[in-house]
Amino acid sequence: MWDGRVQRLGYNPYTAVPADPALAALHTPETRGLNNPDVPSPYPAGAQLFFRGVTAIRESAFAFKVAFAACDAAIVLVLLAALRRAGQGEHWVLAYAWHPLLATDVAATGHLDILGALLLLVSVVALGRRWRTAAAIAFALAVAVKFLPVVLTPLYWRRVRIRDGLMAALVAGMLYLPFLDRGRIPVGSLGVYVQRFRFNDPVFATLERVAGPSVAAGVAVLAGLATAAWLRRKHPSGPLEMWVWPMAASLVCAPVLYPWYLLWLVPFLGSARALPLVVWSVSVLSTYIVWHLYALGHPWQVPVRITILEYGPVAAAAAYTLLRRFGGIG
């Protein structure tokens, strides 16, 4: 809400720091308690314009929740259309619509990731229908909401034309024009995010101790890109669940993994082959205990027992999936 508000008042969200005393008069009761007020916004330009659009209609947390709920409903409609076209049972849409993450992280708390998931799903469905320009532009818009899906770029190789890619890049670039500050590319606190913020990061923490945060962040990106490149070669036809594995590979190596980040995966989890990720999208909810513990004075970190509770079922589901595929289990 802060980002949208300061834009409407003529400020750049990539340079406006919420804790700046000079900007104290810009706050409302709902923005005074925002997280990490000592850094500017890390969100890409597509997200910023969305924030501005919502606050132009109504400046409240409730308005954002309504907007995100509309994105959720739109995903249901797009999934229904995709299932009908593929000749699959329409009941599979319930695997998405009844997912607990939607209740906790869209309806209850309202997180931007659901907008990105919608745009990515539109891109994938458009690609399946050979609407290549639309697919490329929707993908660019998804990346402009949050950078996570950029690791899916190899999956578009030879599925979209060069001119489609150029058009998408042009659209993404135009989104940043309102935020250019004396010719500098606006990145806000993105670098600070990698260097400073941590949550639910067992893999990243291990890599960081060995190679430092920048290298560890690079590994997270490369893990996603490498997974996407391998899947593009192995599955030229592109099954729907193929799109979740590269993002999952990056997320498991990321410095921060909040439960709502897995909203990106949920629309694509309609297959038994994605069982480990289905389990993860539920078990990640166990990390919400950290907010409760932090309020009681405990450190801001995921306890070991919660990490085991989160990733143990995922490992079990992965083992079951492999045994079923290669070991002859029913």
CA angle 322, 324, 325 (to 5 degrees): 65
Does residue 248 lie within any of the structural domains? no
Does residue 29 lie within any of the structural domains? yes
Does residue 315 lie within any of the structural domains? yes
The verdict on 180 and 288 lying in the same domain is no
Token digits for 24?
A: 């104290």
Tens of pLDDT, residues 1-15:
889 999 999 999 998
Element (H, E) at 206: helix 202-211
Pairwise CA distance, residues 90 & 108, whole Å: 26
The verdict on 187 and 291 lying in the same domain is no
Pairwise CA distance, residues 72 & 210, whole Å: 40
Pairwise CA distance, residues 260 & 101, whole Å: 7
Pairwise CA distance, residues 65 & 261, whole Å: 16
Backbone angles phi, psi at 45, to 5 degrees: -65, -35
Does residue 182 lie within any of the structural domains? yes
**pLDDT tops 60 at residue 32:** yes
Element (H, E) at 180: none
The verdict on 277 and 146 lying in the same domain is no
Does residue 201 lie within any of the structural domains? no
Please give the torsion angle defined by the CA atoms of residues 207, 212, 214 and 217, in that order, rounded to the nearest 10 degrees.
10
Does residue 170 lie within any of the structural domains? yes
The verdict on 188 and 278 lying in the same domain is no
Pairwise CA distance, residues 66 & 15, whole Å: 28
Residue from 284, 287, 282, 276 nearest 314 by CA: 276
Does residue 227 lie within any of the structural domains? no
Rg (C-alpha) for the chain, rounded Å, is 20
Tens of pLDDT, residues 221-262:
999 999 999 999 888 766 778 899 999 999 999 999 999 999
Place of tokens 């994105």: 71
The verdict on 185 and 275 lying in the same domain is no
Structural domain total, the chain:
2
Residue 288 DSSP symbol: G
The residue from 194, 211, 244 where one domain ends is 194
Does residue 216 lie within any of the structural domains? no
What is the structure's pLDDT at 134? 97
The residue from 194, 209, 230 where one domain ends is 194
The verdict on 155 and 288 lying in the same domain is no
The residue from 173, 194, 215 where one domain ends is 194
What is the structure's pLDDT at 328? 55
The verdict on 160 and 50 lying in the same domain is yes
The verdict on 62 and 188 lying in the same domain is yes
The verdict on 189 and 283 lying in the same domain is no
Q: Amino acid identity, residue 225?
A: L
End-to-end CA distance of the chain: 50
Contacts of 34 (CB under 8 A, 6+ apart): 1, 2, 18
Tens of pLDDT, residues 74-114:
999 999 998 888 777 788 899 899 999 999 999 889 999 99
Contacts of 58 (CB under 8 A, 6+ apart): none
Token digits for 43?
A: 């969100």
Can you give the residue range of the structural domain that contains 291?
271-330
Report CA torsion sign: 40, 151, 51, 290: negative
The verdict on 280 and 141 lying in the same domain is no
| Cβ-contact 32, 82 below 8 angstroms | no
Tens of pLDDT, residues 54-85:
999 999 999 999 999 999 999 999 999 988 88
The verdict on 177 and 291 lying in the same domain is no
The verdict on 58 and 180 lying in the same domain is yes
